Structure 1
Amino acid sequence: MVAKIFIDGEAGTTGLQIRERLAGRRDLEVLSIAQDKRKDQDERKRLLNEADVAILCLPDDAAKESVSLIDNGTTRVIDASTAYRVDPDWAYGFAEMDKNQSDVIAKARFVSNPGCYPQGPIATLRPLIEAGLLPDSFPISVNAISGYSGGGKQMIAEYEAAGDEASEYMPYGLTFQHKHVPEMTKYTKLSGAPLFVPSVGDYAQGMVTFVPLQLGQLAKVPSGKDIHAAIADHFAGIKDSFVQVAPYADLAKTPELDPEIYNNTNTMKLHVFANDARAQVLLVAVYDNLGKGASGAAVQNLNLMLGVSAKESLAA
């Protein structure tokens, strides 16, 4: 049976990438809205209710409106906005978060696609809190850099227009109220919000997240190998995982921390660096903000919901 898919907001960055990944699929029929009817609520409603799965690539308020237009009991939804990411009635679409999360997604009617920035901290911190190596009250800072495509069409246009004058590195969100903080807090299992400092670099796509840990205050200080083993054990039990854990190594630097290394794939690679004498650890995640961070994750979730291979249409 061919599943009907409607991408509401297919002209945006994430929507275009999803459509590109789905091109050529014989098990899908992608429904399209005529360009002159993109703001026609009646036409959007018709397509939303005709679809087996609607993928929403819209701002929060528009995504909520689209959900309200679905008046049948069958259309399933993947929402790429932040509107429902901490909503208990929606499954969180980070399939590798827990060993049963892919099954949760597969059975869900409503799935909230994860934000790009939170996935790295969730992947590295959640296993440590679940293993008891870190208390949920541990003070956490997250630093990250993303390509300018993460800012959507407006930021892409600004960077491309600026050319050589574009900022090489620009931190932002300095009020520490970034929209990704609630989901980062909830799904890492932290009891308090981390201090999150995102930044944008002068390149199109790809990202790295950094979580530094000062462990000396703990009653029992885990070693770097303990930290690495907990993360590796977590992901060893995840079926059809796109998350890889780099071998534990004493390195001063590595080319594997290039933020663009996994562009156009759905791969996420995790690294643990440590100085046990100082009780210091650095957790690093490298992935594509448009791949695993957005459209790749959406396609992975779609595959799970349709009961096909999680890796269909996705480069690892």
Structure 2
Amino acid sequence: MLASLDEQMKIRILLPIAIGVAACLGTLLIFDWRSIGTTLAAFDYARFILLGIPISMAVLVTRTIRWTAVAGMAFTPRMLWRTHLQTALSIATAALTPLQLGEALKLKLARDSGAGGWHKLTAAFAMERIADLAAILTLAAIGLRGGQAIWLAPAAAVMAIGFCIVPFALRVTAGLFKHGVLGRLFSPFADFHLSAARLLVVGFGTAGKWFSVVALWQLTIACSGVALTFAQCASLVAGVTISVAASMVPVGLGVAELSARQGMIWMGVAPSAAEAGAIALRLISPLIIGLGLLHGLLLIKDRTTDDV
């Protein structure tokens, strides 16, 4: 039994490494790096920074509002500011970890701020991941529908309404399985309750977050000289996110580039332009990390002020 568990652990560790190495080798061999270098030299960095910062801030703000709602924290200026700083810092750490697991840092920060115990915050974190999954499927649906702007509001509404059912289903499941592995798995949801208003905030906050992410991707790809519609970018974000999550490769190195390249080629973009766009998307990470670390410095100052 122990040997079997050890083998499973080895597979879980070695498989992502193997996938990552293969993806990186594929990226190095397939991509036309000379053409990419020429394209990146002509990249519109000024436009990327001027528009990328406010769009990135929109991502941070919507995630702050969502986390405040799902964790059951008070919507006071003081709590929102502290939560915003914590969320931004956790996103910076998430950008450096597989499956964005570094974002779990905000559980500890929220607990230290008196937002609740581990059970409650773990359930809230899981609810966020479920909401993100619903958003990814919504983005894919937008792309498949051709992405007419009229579909954005109904898609967000459907996602929010569907999300409202999830907490009820998880509480019922927790009640049915009180013992064993399933009991331990669902125990955090047994006492997890959110008002209808908070659930709607979480739903629409998730929609706002992912629409902002799509806008950021669209801007970055446009600055590299490739014009994609919002719908195409929505499909691209969904496809790349699913590929990276399934591979479990840290920061999706290689996997994200190959997925983005193939997605853009499928949308009719020339291979050389698709490769440049895929590499350009990596510029989002230092932008988000930089903003997150800046917020981290503000958080340190904020906590120091409290201690005085």
**TM-score, normalization by structure 2:** 0.27
**TM-score, normalization by structure 1:** 0.26
Structure (1 or 2) with the greater strand fraction: 1
Structure (1 or 2) with the greater helix fraction: 2
